[in-house]
Amino acid sequence: MKFSALFLAAAGLCAEPTHRLFVSNEAGDSLTVIDSRTGKVEKTVAVGDRPRGIGLSPDRSRVYVALGNENAIAVVDTRSLDVVKKIPAGSDPEAFAVHGDGTIYLSNEDAGSATALDPDSGKILAEIEVGIEPEGVGIGPDGKQVLVTSESTNMVHVISAADKKVTANVLVGARPREVAFSPDGKYFWVTSEVAGEVAKVDRATNKIAAVNKRLRREINRRVKPKGILLSPDGKRLYVSLGRGNAIAVLNPDTLAIEAVVPAGSRVWGLALSRDGTRLYAANGLDSNLSVIDTLALKEIGKLPTGEMPWGVALDD
């Protein structure tokens, strides 16, 4: 067991991807596994109670799922689809990001803390005090900074990965949800759900460099920005709009709206294919995923999921 994990880790990029889409279903207590090439559901895994945050290990041999009501992270083998183990992860884990060194940084929503967890040993490396209702987690490209948003405190906390301490705090629009870094690590973007805005923050100064507060006015009044991803070429930001039922495509520098792609009801979690041509978006109230062609900028299909899909991860 240990050997095979090591072997896969060493094999790194040589490991053949499974091309599977993994979807956490918050109300379905399940993980939907879909072959991204055929669109067929391969399996529905009963993963545990209230699955939300989802992400792959650096070697892509494991998919991790945060189980809010079990205070644990489920570890699922991406090939066998077995639930290998559940790791205690502090109170009410919601969202997380996986560091290149394998450490999981996660937010504990009702404890006002972030936890650094080693998934191999199951050891909690640090508990970091942050604001109220911590949510989105992001890791800079060089692995030195971890960002955690706190929804009720309206902040992004910058945490040093080396000593696991908060080094800076940025006040942003009400109810910050998720973050995305630029490939050079100089900027990050953050969605604010209640403020209805997307901000670009300069990491050198920790100040807001640009903000778009017009999404609700220009798209529709139900817009609540949630998920955010940067395209692999760095030229587009994709933002899921919750009950705005669409994906906004923004210019990463000016944050101007370049396109609005209709999706399903209460669209949240996003995943992009490695080549950037396909965007997958979880429609929470429709129990499906929108498949979006990013060249044509339109939805080309829907894939069924379990009840209330929350997040998406793609192993390609």
Question: What count of other Cβ atoms lies within 10 Å of the Cβ of residue 218?
Answer: 12
Q: Of the two residues 32 and 71, which places its CB atom closer to other proteins in the complex?
A: 71
- Nearest distance from C-beta of residue 112 to other proteins, angstroms: 7
Q: Which of 5, 126, 132, 285 binds other proteins (CB under 8 A)?
A: 132
Of residues 212-231, which lie at the interface with other proteins (CB under 8 A)? Answer: 221
Q: Which of 131, 140, 244, 264 binds other proteins (CB under 8 A)?
A: 131
Sequence-distant (6+) residues with CB within 8 A of 38 are: none
The rounded distance, in Å, linking the Cα atoms of 75 and 57 is: 10
The rounded distance, in Å, linking the Cα atoms of 1 and 276 is: 34
Is residue 307 close enough to count as binding other proteins by CB under 8 A? Answer: no
Under a CB-based contact definition with an 8 Å cutoff, are residues 239 and 292 in contact? Answer: no
Is residue 146 close enough to count as binding other proteins by CB under 8 A? Answer: no
- Nearest distance from C-beta of residue 62 to other proteins, angstroms: 29
Under a CB-based contact definition with an 8 Å cutoff, are residues 79 and 61 in contact? Answer: yes
- Nearest distance from C-beta of residue 174 to other proteins, angstroms: 4
Q: Binding string to other proteins for residues 89 to 128, with x set by CB under 8 A, is what?
A: --------------------xx-x----------------
Q: Of the two residues 171 and 296, which places its CB atom closer to other proteins in the complex?
A: 171
Under a CB-based contact definition with an 8 Å cutoff, are residues 104 and 121 in contact? Answer: no
The rounded distance, in Å, linking the Cα atoms of 265 and 28 is: 17
- Nearest distance from C-beta of residue 169 to other proteins, angstroms: 4
Q: Report the amino acid identity of residue 128.
A: I
Q: Of the two residues 119 and 196, which places its CB atom closer to other proteins in the complex?
A: 196
- Nearest distance from C-beta of residue 152 to other proteins, angstroms: 7
Under a CB-based contact definition with an 8 Å cutoff, are residues 210 and 256 in contact? Answer: no
Under a CB-based contact definition with an 8 Å cutoff, are residues 312 and 270 in contact? Answer: yes
Instruction: Give me the residues paired with residue 56 across strands.
Output: 63
DSSP 242: B
- Nearest distance from C-beta of residue 295 to other proteins, angstroms: 35
Is residue 157 close enough to count as binding other proteins by CB under 8 A? Answer: yes
Interaction site with other proteins (CB under 8 A): 109-110, 112, 131-133, 151-155, 157, 166, 169, 171, 174-175, 194-196, 221
